[in-house]
Chain A
Amino acid sequence: MNPRAVEVVVWKELLDLWRDKKTLFAAILLPVVSMPLIGLTVLLLSTQQPVNVAVVDRDDSTYSDPALNVTVSSEWLVGNLTRALEAAGCHVHAYTSEPGNLTVYDLVVVIPRGFSHNATSLTQQARVEIIRKASVQPALNAENTVLSTLSQFSRNLSEVKVRQLALMSGLSPGSFSVNSVLQPVVAGPVLVITPSGAPASPLEQIKPFLAKVLILGLIFVVSPASMYVVDGIVGERERKTIELLLATPLSVSEVITGKLIAASILGLVSSLSDVASLMVYMYLIALSVGGFFWLVIDLKLVLLHAVTAFFTILVTVAIATPFVTRTQGVRSASNIATVVNMIGMALFFSGFMIDYPKIEPSILYPLMAIPYTHSILVIQDYVYGMVYYSMLHLAVLVAVSLLLLYVGVKSVSPEKILLAR
């Protein structure tokens, strides 16, 4: 195979591709535009779905325990709950008796009669009832806000009670700690370390998640690349441009290899734009739920992902090539490419959820027969700090993709391309 001949084909393919705005839009710009747009839509819509909460203060009383000298007012709790829920974007309605129609509320918080009395007691527990609609997902967020507020209210009350009991028992204020009574056992400090044992920086802590996002991104690159190959071979036959090309001194191997390399370059560019847009999407989604997503870039990881993406695409199109060239039309060729893509998608989605380096060898080794397993392991082993194994899997991926490319192009002849049935 003459590299110069392949270069000529790649030049023509890339020039043709550069002018094919629809394909470029679908492969590169569409994810860049659509993913952040989805994130932005989620962010905007999430603020437009306020949860209706009713806080029913049936107790509506203030009680002071004369022995402990502690006072609790249900009105205080209503005030705390209202502030916290409104800060979370909920619509809060306070009542002193149960409203007639409860179904209009997504969450109802009921402070029962005797709440203040029980809360100040040394023998009773005060309870707050919560009624939540199962079908309303944001109501769960509101419930968490209520539980958090109650927990803080309870903690403050406990501190007051413990101090009073200590005074009553004759302990001097400096001879005990409230925390050692309320929380005698706590976890911590929790030290997060890197695979080498050094303390992990925030970037290193987020890296495994970033790696999984990169693996997920591979899903979006194999599809446009393989469709491009379908178009490049079967489409050229249908457009009557392939026969003239096959009549030149270019060998079929050179023609197909040139097309596969161009497809892989398209996939690589698509991969980088997908990852960028996916990260913007994750950032916006995190914002919408009040969290935070570090927009961090580990250039070595991104470079490793780019190389992995290139060879993952090459392996995909190399697998599809012998079948694609033998099909009669674009539709049947696309179906074959879709089957190959589906295998990749299934594995890459699992790579987003599962840590492959932790899988039992008895399961992992058979999975390694599928080239995509190595794509996942290149990235995950790197994040696990197993750089040697990461490079080993990359070498396997490169070798397998080149071998399949060789087999793929050698199995095709001009006659098979021209006269496929």
Chain B
Amino acid sequence: MAVAVRVEHLRKAFGRVVAVEDVTLEVYEGEVFGLIGPNGAGKTTTLRMIAGLVKPDSGRVAVMGLDPFKEPGEVKRVLGYLPEEADVYTRLTGLEHLKFYASIYGGDVDETVRYGAAVSGLGGDLYKKAGEYSKGMKRRLLLSLVLMRRPKIAILDEPTSGLDVYSSIKVRDLIKAFARENRSTIILSSHNMLEVEYVCDRVAFINKGRVVEVGSPSDLKSRYGASNLEEVFVKATGG
């Protein structure tokens, strides 16, 4: 299988705090890849480095063979990134959000907006100001901003963080449907093991800035003799 994202020995420190110690992983084209770890494990910093937003102190990143720091424009065109704590412009409507982000990428803006509107599933609510949206609606809108132009690689940092059960299910279904329909590569981070097990083809456990295990959920469970990924994680990290 072709490699969509290759990360080799990434390290990043902020002052004395080492956020990422040594992360190496490969994500294949068309797979949904989960990055799992507790808060502060280094998931967000790793994803930011893949997206070209934070420069690593050492190590290499290649996105479809491109270096995000040498060819940022090209990488950002093949890649969509949804930050964990992203929020909306409260005074803009959902539709205006779609138009704004579609205009940034150019091409057939109307078609992109139409697809984005369908992905969001917000219907008539797209004409309302985003400040009036519930948390779940905001998340769906933000997700549609990333997915509406059908990126080859989508990086979703904690896409269901802070959402209620129903909203989480909707977002998870949206991601799965998108991945199936577009054969895009999706990297999502989460500390919700059930979610990852449901959505991802393969997962990597990250703890204290290091990748401690990689594999498909079923392989990992059988390898560690565990009934779910939570048990695998505890055993893999020696916790």
Q: Which residues of A contact B (CB under 8 A)?
A: 4-5, 8, 11-12, 15-16, 19-20, 239-241, 243-244, 246-251, 413-415, 418-419
Contacts and interface: CB of A to CB of B under 8 A. Distances in A.
A124 to B, nearest CB: 81
A249 B73 CA distance: 5
Contact of A419 (B54, B100, B101): B54
Contact of A249 (B88, B89, B105): B105
Contacts of B103: 8, 11
B77 to A, nearest CB: 5
B48 A418 contact: yes
Contact of A244 (B48, B73, B129, B142): B142
Contacts of A20: 91
A15 B145 CA distance: 18
A266 B52 CA distance: 32
Interface residues of B, number: 35
Q: Which 4 A-B pairs have the closest CB atoms?
A: A247-B81, A240-B87, A19-B91, A243-B83
A415 B87 contact: no
Interface string B86-128: 1111111000100011011110000000000000000000000
B90 to A, nearest CB: 8
Contacts of A418: 48, 53-54
Given A16-B91, A244-B81, A248-B76, A415 B86 contact: no
B53 A247 contact: yes
A250 B104 contact: yes
Contact of B83 (A8, A19, A240, A251): A240
B83 A247 contact: yes
B72 interface: yes
Contacts of A19: 91-92, 129
B82 interface: yes
A241 B100 contact: no
Contacts of B86: 240-241, 243-244
Contacts of A419: 14, 54
Contact of A246 (B53, B80, B90, B145): B53
A84 B158 CA distance: 82
A414 B90 CA distance: 23
